Structure 1
Amino acid sequence: MKRVVSLYLPNWSTDRLRRMTGDAPPRADAPLVVVGRDGSRRIVTAADPAAAALGAHVGMPAAKAQALAAGLQIRDADPLGDAEALERLALWILQRVAPIVTADPQDGIVIDTTGTDHLHGGEAAMLDGLVSRLAMSGVAARAAVADTWGAAHALARFAPGSMMIAAPGHGPSVISALPIEALRLPPGMPAALRVLGFERIGELIAQPRAPLTLRFGPELGRRLDQALGRAAEPIEPLRPAELSEVRRSFAEPISAAETIARYIGKLVEALCTDLEQNGQGARRLDLICQRVDSRAQAIRIGMAKPVRDAKRLTRLLCDKIETIDPGFGIDTLTLCASVAEPLEPRQMATSLIEVAEPDISDLIDTLANRVGDRALYRAAPVASDVPERSVSRVPALAPQTGASWPDAWPRPARLLLTPELVETIALLPDHPPVSFTWRGVRRRVRRADGPERVFGEWWKRDAELAAIRDYFRVEDEAGERYWLYRAGNGEDETTGSQRWFIHGVFG
């Protein structure tokens, strides 16, 4: 089932201006409005939340807005700059989220995420990642996912909350309670509908279509059908000029998996030839299947390092053919390298010169495209004495950083995500516990070693200036070994709560 994400940027014009660098960027602590021309009048075209709190709103005369506050910043509108920046953001999303992405002027981006959400940990994680990354960059965003572009567009702009996920196959109920402005109607039409007493989309859905079409023309019915999935609304994917892309159109639509696989092989060979001429290898490939009913199906594969092996890329793409729904047939196949990196020719190793190093990148690519990049990683050491900060997740084939694991004191094979509180009997300040209770089970300690003292990282937070942990390796009567620590030095309460926690389990 098709799934579409609508990303809404409510303060795009002002957020873009605040992110600009130059001689006189807008001050971050002052309200900001953008002013443009409507005929001979100068009016507000955008206002940030601080300016809106003062009473500024879109359509207000610029002179009236200027009188709201002495510190109000006013900038001239730049529609062309906003559109170019929105397209650049869409390209960034194209490379990281899904193969079908396009700008939705003036303040949105639409993404066809059918079959790609599992690569990002599911739809909730995907939306959260998008909204969070934009928030860290200073761009406010709201996102919604639904079965159609129209429904996702309406939910992103009018549903409560910053994220909204409509269940697959949701039907008209998900947008019925939204105001009629959510239908992307021409200017003036919502006001005319309200004169007739219509307030919600559900009221329009329940009405006979013929009188509405006679009064308002076909646009109202078309927008309703697009939002409800009764009419196709193709998303024309954004494609930069420098993108390596090959395309094959068919006089007769194709639908058999074997036929699709055969033409995938031909497209991959042609794309690899193009990449070789450019001295590049593909890090991500997108295959877009344009169906005869104007709907698109897309599959995406990623590689851990640049690849230009036609057989390998064909196999990875063909592994996902079962996710393609050809419908009544596919009339165009488009294959593009949405992410490509330099790849120089390399001489093959021989036994007379060198021994070839084992290459597991093919296995990594196969697994990553099945379970997602986030589910495939390796642990890497981080220069930190605090145990939970001393390890990080990195891509499976990420280069070595030079950091090494601490070897002065042994570490448990399993480190708990969050230390868990335990009840203990222990003699302070330096003795290990005699027994402890963890998850409802009391364990008597037979052997113990420690303490290993770990100090807080005072350069990160002031609260860690005096923080201390004393770690002990303990073994219970059953031979199980655990890693416990006391928060504090056992004497001074400023160094910690003096309570005991379990942080890991030895194998």
Structure 2
Amino acid sequence: MWFPRLASDRVLRTRLIEGPFALTLQENNANRLYCLNMQAEKQGLHRGMSYSDARAFCPDLQSRPADPIGDQQFLHVLRRWAARHYCPWVGLEGGDGLVLDITGAAHLFGGEAAMLTDMRQRLSRAGFAARIGLGDTRGAAWALAHYGEGYAAPGQALAALQTLPVAALRLDNKTTIALQRLGLRSVGDLAGAVRAPLARRFGPEVLMRLDQALGHQPEQIAPLAEPPHYGVRMTVPDPIGLYDDVMAGTARLLDQICARLKAQETGARVLCLTLRRVDQDSQTIELRLARPLRDPRRILPLFERGVRDVDAGFGIDQMRLEATQVEPLPVQQVSHVSSGRKDQLDDLVTRIGTRIGLENIQRFLPADSHIPERSFLIAPAAYSDPGGPWVSLRSRPLQLFPPVPVAGTGPRPPKRFRWRRMSLTTARATGPERIAPEWWLVDDNWRSGLRDYWRVETRQGRRLWLFYTPQNPGWFVQGEFA
């Protein structure tokens, strides 16, 4: 089952466009056509064509940016649809096709011909152009879908494929051109040629593809496995409503779901506990974790606040726990020197995050820049790791603020100056430390050029960070030491 215009058909299903239409994709600093509808192909446009050339040939061409990731996700949707309607053995064939093993399923539709007719009708009503090939081998079905769209009777693959070009054997472009130069233009010509010279010149791939298409070599269909589902449910015989009972049920569900997570070497980041009352009303408790976890002893206490706020009504008769977001969590070696402080910090971040939101708990991370304002980043603590030790050849103030001008002349720090309505007297000054602007970044605050930083200790007890701008003489206060 081949979808020659999968990407454009997917877009046009939700946005009807009359006339030529194409999706574009940026490749090698050029915007090129990625997928076209039938009207655009009739205008002489083709895939890989430059978008500017396409507009010159077809001024009425309408376009949108392509979304290859979305196309692949939609192909998985089509795979699930085919597995549900036709047969369980469905796999992906490249980026725009499906391969189905319908052995033992065709009689449910009245035969193979009726089954193919049903496929075409359903896909046509959904707005997809599809070409379907049927054969007793995977290679024969692929060749018929891409170059013939027909039916190969059992044991008659050569008769059905002999007039098709050698490209129908899933060979690369270079090999196809080389075979055509030798006069082997069709599958029949290749099948009738002497095999030994072909194997010496092209290697085993050409003959292997030919044998797979004709059924001399087996080729299996590997269906994609369904992703693991991390959800468990429990129905209680008598409605419950006490806090201890709900927590006991949650503990049972956690044991089951954490066992599944451990088997897949994953950890939960978001857990949803749904409590259904006897009046069919449901309440959901969402727990967002600062780190992926699969330890039920650590997760259970984090549900306490949410469970206490639940209104049980006349009782709860069903509980469901699901990990809606998981992340890889491989097994790690535990040593006698490992500390649990990091786990305690993660649990604390989770507890606070349930009240104010995990995004509002932030940490400072070091950044690779000598500019004071750019030497750190602010990131959510739950979605970042400590960036390692802070490395600085000179001490930096604990508090930074926008530069505040102060009165002073000359390259040496002023002996007396006013700052924040305070009269300060310089007792000791250490410096200068010259910092140059980063020329590859545009920053209005550094347009004055170089800065000479001084650490100034005042008689009033203030320890300030001052800088002097030689290009445009002036003094500024930017930070204060602890």
Q: TM-score, normalised by structure 2?
A: 0.50
Larger Rg: 2
TM-score normalised over the length of structure 1: 0.48
